[in-house]
Amino acid sequence: MRGHSRYTICSQHHEEGHPGHWKDCQESRDSYEPEMYAWFTTNEYNTDPLKDPPPFEPTHCAACGKVIRLAHEPNMLFAGACYCTACMPVALKAQPAALAQPPLRKQSESPRARPPATSDI
């Protein structure tokens, strides 16, 4: 039952201690993108799959527009957009500010660089 414990809303609902039945739990439903909720409730790991999953709009790559099947294809969520594997390098190049590390402090800005205050002695 490893698949059931990893790939179903039923398991997530139980592990997080939500009240009631998983099929009626709005909190469990809101925890996932609609496409992933539909997959987690209807995949082969469910012992009691949802018979009528909610409709959803397919996810498209923000760069090329290709439909990405979230549960079946590698993808990257970056800077609020989803990218297919072919466009991941494009996304990373287009968003250098999101990848930038904060600048290191100059030695003079470091709290240890200042002379000790009288209360520090």
Q: Which two tokens stand for residue 29?
A: 């439903």
Residue 105 lies in a domain: no
Q: Are residues 50 and 2 in the same domain?
A: yes
Q: Are residues 46 and 75 in the same domain?
A: no
Q: How many domains does the chain have?
A: 2
Q: Do 82 and 63 contact (CB within 8 A), yes or no?
A: no
Residue 104 lies in a domain: no
> pLDDT tens, position by position, for the chain (121 residues)?
678 888 899 998 999 999 999 999 999 999 888 999 999 999 999 888 999 998 999 999 999 999 999 999 999 988 888 999 999 888 777 765 555 545 444 444 434 333 344 444 4
CA dist 59 and 56 (Å) reads 9
Tell me the per-residue pLDDT of 38-70, one tens digit each, with 9 for 90 and over: 999 999 998 889 999 989 999 999 999 999 999
Contacts of residue 36, Cβ cutoff 8 Å, sequence gap at least 6: 70, 71
Angle CA(8)–CA(75)–CA(44) in degrees, nearest 5? 25
Q: pTM of the predicted model, to two decimals?
A: 0.68
- Domain with 92, as residue range(s), is 58-97
Q: Are residues 3 and 37 in the same domain?
A: yes
Q: Are residues 74 and 48 in the same domain?
A: no
Q: Are residues 52 and 64 in the same domain?
A: no
